[in-house]
Amino acid sequence: MKTADVVVIGAGVVGSSCALIMAEAGLKVIVVDRGPIAGGTTGAGEGNIMVSDKEIVPEIELAVRSRDAWFEIADRIGNNFELHAKGGIALSRTDSGMAGLRKLAAHQSAHGIETIEVDGARLRELEPHMNPDIETAIHYPGDGQCQPMLSAAYFLRTVRHLKGEVWQRTEVLGFLKDKDGAITGVRTAREEISTRYVVNATGTWAGDIARLAGSELSIMPRRGFILVTTPAPRLIHHKVYDADYVANVASDSPELQSSAVVEGTESGTILIGASRERIGFDSRMNMAALERLAKQAISVFPVLSKLELLRVYHGFRPYSPDHLPVIGEDANVKGLFHCAGHEGAGIGTAPGSGELLTAMILGKPTFMDATPFLPSRFQGVA
C-alpha cells in the first residue's frame, strides 16, 4: 500500500493547482485521474484568467487572488504555459447595456479590480479592427490568459519533481474509512493509497466521486462550443466580449445562449466563444450555436468575415446550483475536500482555490472568508 498526505483526484487545471500548492507546502501528494492529463474540461477551454466577468464579492476576491497567484507560480516554476496579462475589453452597444457595465465596473473597482472606461478613439488604439459603431467600453488590464493544458502539465511536472506522483488512467474505485466515517485511504485500480485527505477535483464528474464516498454534490455540465479560425497575423489583442456574456454566465436558462468572446492566441488562431447549453454530456454539434457565434463575432470584428473556421471544439463547464465553486470539506465525510464547480472560470480561479484548500487541510488561515464556497451550503448534515 502507498502512503500519501493528500490524494488529489483529477489531473485538470484545478487538481494540478491543488497538487502543486500542496506539494510546495511540503505535503506528499498523489494525483489520480482515470484519464490523461488535462483530458476533461481543461483540455477544452480557452485559458481564461478573468477578473472582469466576476460580480459577486467572494468570487471577485477569489479571482483577484488567483490572477496574482498565476503570475507568482510562473515566477516560481517558469512560464512555460503562455501566461500573459493581455487585458480584457467588455463592450455593449446599447445605453442600458453600457449603464450596466459602468455599474458593474464601479462595484468591481471597489473590490480591487482595475477598470478603465475608454472612448472610441482609445478603443481603436487598443483594438484597431473593432467595429467603428462601438464607441465606448470598459478596459480591464488585469484579465489574463494561459494555455490551460500546458499549465496543468507543467504544474504536475513540478509536483513530480517535489516527490509527488501522478497516476494517469487510474480509476478511483472507492474509499477506506475509519469507524467514525473519516477517510483513511483511497482504493484505486492500481493499488490502495493510505491517506487522511482526499481532494475531489473532478469538475463535471465531482458528483460521482462524492457519491462514491457516500455523500452527494450537485455539479452539472454546461456545454460550450469554441470556434478556432485559421491562423492569421495578430488582429485581436485583448479578450473582447459582449456585455451579454456576463448576463449569460449568471443565467439559469437551459437553452442555447451565446455572445461573442473573441481573442487571438499565440499560435495565430483566433478563438470565438462562448455558447452555453445545459443539455447534459451531448457532444453532437449544434449548427445554430456555430452560426450565432460567427455572426456575433463578426459584428464586433468585421475583419473576421475574411477568416475561415478551421476547427470547433466543445467542453462541459462544471456548474453548481448557485454558480459559485465548491471549495472545502464535505459536510458528511471527514477528510473529503471538494474543489469543483468552477463553471467557466476554473482555469482562472484554480490557484486561489488550491491555496484555500491547502490552508484548510493544514489548518492555517485562508486569504479570504471561504464560507460562501463550502459544500455544506448544499449538503444536509447527516
Q: How far is the CB of 3 from another protein (least distance, A)?
A: 22
Grid cell, residue 221, equals 455540465
Tell me the C-alpha distance between 202 and 219, whole Å. Answer: 10
Whether residue 27 contacts residue 57, with contact meaning beta carbons closer than 8 Å, is answered with no
H/E stretch holding 197:
strand 197-200
Tell me the C-alpha distance between 330 and 344, whole Å. Answer: 23
- Residue entry with cell 493547482: 17
H/E stretch holding 377:
none
Closest by CA to 327, choosing from 360, 285, 286, is: 360
Among 78, 231, 254, 321, which residue sits at the site for another protein (rule: CB under 8 A)? 231
Residue 156 touches another protein, criterion: CB under 8 A:
yes
Q: How far is the CB of 39 from another protein (least distance, A)?
A: 7
Among 149, 235, 339, 345, which residue sits at the site for another protein (rule: CB under 8 A)? 149
Q: How far is the CB of 240 from another protein (least distance, A)?
A: 15
Residue 133 touches another protein, criterion: CB under 8 A:
no
Residue 76 touches another protein, criterion: CB under 8 A:
no
Residue 240 touches another protein, criterion: CB under 8 A:
no
C-alpha distances (whole Å) from 219 to each of 3, 15, 205, 335 are 29, 16, 7, 20
- Whichever of 3 and 80 has its CB closer to another protein, that residue is 80
Residue 234 touches another protein, criterion: CB under 8 A:
no
Tell me the C-alpha distance between 223 and 221, whole Å. Answer: 6
Residue 245 touches another protein, criterion: CB under 8 A:
no
Stretch that binds another protein, among 50-58, 156-164, 188-196, 356-364 (CB under 8 A): 156-164
List of residues contacting another protein (CB under 8 A): 36-39, 43, 149-150, 153-154, 156-157, 160, 166, 168-169, 227, 229-231, 267, 284-285, 287-288, 290-292, 294-295, 297-298, 304-312
